[in-house]
Each structure stands twice: as structure tokens, then as C-alpha cells.
Structure 1
């Protein structure tokens, strides 16, 4: 497996020192552990609606989503009835996709369960050890609604967790680095990915988020 230093050298060769730093993630203004659970629901919903859709359209419509879903109040959205669903399907302020609309209610259940177990969903998700990021991804996939794959991974990063994201470029870099051979979907491959990020973080002192971006910069776009 290539070392962090070797991979960073490759990224600098492609982007230059300034160019590489320019694509690095900005440190979060608010840690995920300090977010309110309604903001977690909001970001989960945004990422679910953006998946397979034009992100700019969702961004432009987002104030309407906030209004339609009552500021993503946990209690109010837990009560979503068939009548509420019908109203959402007529609401031009949002993208009217029934399956994605229902994820709001489903993810309220998920977040509420975490809150009962840990005091708040933010405390559980935001304090999850990054040395077991793959375990957190598995939790989102198993108990969340449409939060598997990069959808949940992007949401975590957006909410202030400095996790890696397994984009196509990052997976390509992991293959180039000799960590995995092929996709990063099997349990054995994911265990190797986690071990590699843990090792590179120990070598460099960098966050998993910055290492993730560095990897993406080390391979062709």
C-alpha cells in the first residue's frame, strides 16, 4: 500500500501545492455533535432529494422544502398522515416524489430512535469514532431511509463530520494505492478502506476528510 507521503506527492504533481489546498474541505463551522436533530433531518432530506437529480434545482427550491416540512420539526413530521402526503404531492414548492417524501417520516423514526438511545441523534452520529466510519455508514444504510452509499456520506460531511466520502475518484485512488482491487462495497474491501484511512491519518495527522480530498486529487478527474 502506498504511504500518505507518496499519495500526496502524486496529488501535488497533478494540482500543485496551492491547487491541492484549494480543493481541501473547509473546517466545519458547527460540529455535527452540536447540530439540532431537525437540522440533521433537513440535510438528510436534501441529500436524498439531490440523489439522481439536479442539485441546483433542489438548492433553489430549498426554502420551499423548509416551509412545506415545517422547518423539519421532528414531532410534526413524525405525524405525517396520508392526507399530509397527498398535500405534499400537490405542493409545487417541493419536488413531488412520493417515495422521497416518505423518507422524511422514515428518517424521523430513525433519528427519534437514536435520540431515545443516546440523548440526541446528533450526539450519537456526531460523536461516532471516525476510526469506525464504515460502521457509521452501515448504520445509515441499515436504519435510515435512502441514506446508503454516498448520499449519507455527503450528508455527514455537510453536517460537520470530517469523514471520508467514497466517491468514484476516491475509490479509483484506493485502487491505485493498492488498498482494494475493484469496488469498495464488500465488507472485506470496506475493512481495508477503513484501515488505510486510519493508517494515513496516523502518518499525517490529517483528518479523514482532507485525506479523502487528497486521494481524489491524486487521480485523473
Structure 2
């Protein structure tokens, strides 16, 4: 009886291991097929193949990365970024993480080139710079990321220093001209001045009469 239990244990364990091995083989076969289709630019078929791999194993970081590449090639940037988010959450390999950050930087940099306003362009360039720094943090030898990083930093400096991109200074409002005729102090001063002149003229006239005498 003891030997019978041992035999059943090994049979069950062997079936589980065999089933797991078959699933893993199918999972990676789907990814392999997807990569072949991607190289042929059959993006819809590649997308379907990667999704099959994720149905077998929803924690396959490589399948998320490859699926992100499909969306990126199709210009579906938001979907690509979502797949890359999952890749970074699951992936532990520094080289794979570096490539993921690099692709995220390329998306941000492409968006910056198509931006219609300088403010949006600058924000996207900052985002790209952040992603390329992440790529270099994972793999300091990533020369493509280093080049793109330097290019984005240069473009950002030029955009920020361009006088045409600076906001215009606030306009000065012209102050209204004072209305002296409505000012009681000015009116009083004018009356005093007029009286003083009348007094001076009166004295002059008196002196001229004195001389006649």
C-alpha cells in the first residue's frame, strides 16, 4: 500500500510538471511567433499572438514588452505606455528594463516633436529626459539612450531660451490726465494769484500818479 501511494504521488507530480512545462512551451512559442510576425510588420497578427501568451501567463513581462512594441509601431502611444508600465512592474532584468525606459522616452520625444505649443513641447521633453535617465540608470552602456537624452536636453534649453517663447511683459495702463479745473486747491491758488496781480497793477498805477504830481 505504501508503495502504491508513492507511485500515485509521482504520477500526479509528473502530470502537473508536464502540464506546466507544456504551458511554458506554448507561452514562449506564442511570443516567438509574435516576434516573427512583428518583423514582417504583420502587427495585428503579432498582437494576437502576444495576447495568447499573456492568457497562458499574465505575468510574462516579455509578452507585455513585445505587445507594447506593437502598439508603438502602430502609433497607439497610450496603449504602448500601458504595456510598458506592466513590463516595468514585472521585469527584473536590468537590460530589459533599460529598453523599456528607452521606448517610453522615444514616445515622449515623438510627442514633443508634434506638439503645437511650446509649453506642451517643453513638458514632453522633460518627460523624455526622465525616461532616458531611467534607461541609463538600468544600463549605463545604453548609447542610444545617452544620445537621445543629450538631444532632448539641447532642445529643451533652446526652447526655454528662445525670446519668442517668453510671455510678453504686462502692458502699462495710461493714467488719465488730471482735471485741474475740478481741483478746489488749484482754483483757490489761481484766485490768489489773480488778486496778487491786481494789487501789483494798482500799486504801479498809484506810483505813476505820484510822479505826475
Normalising by structure 2, we get a TM-score of 0.23
Larger helix proportion, structure 1 or 2? 2
User: In terms of Rg, which structure is larger?
Assistant: 2
Normalising by structure 1, we get a TM-score of 0.23
More RCO (CA 8 Å, sep 6+)? 1
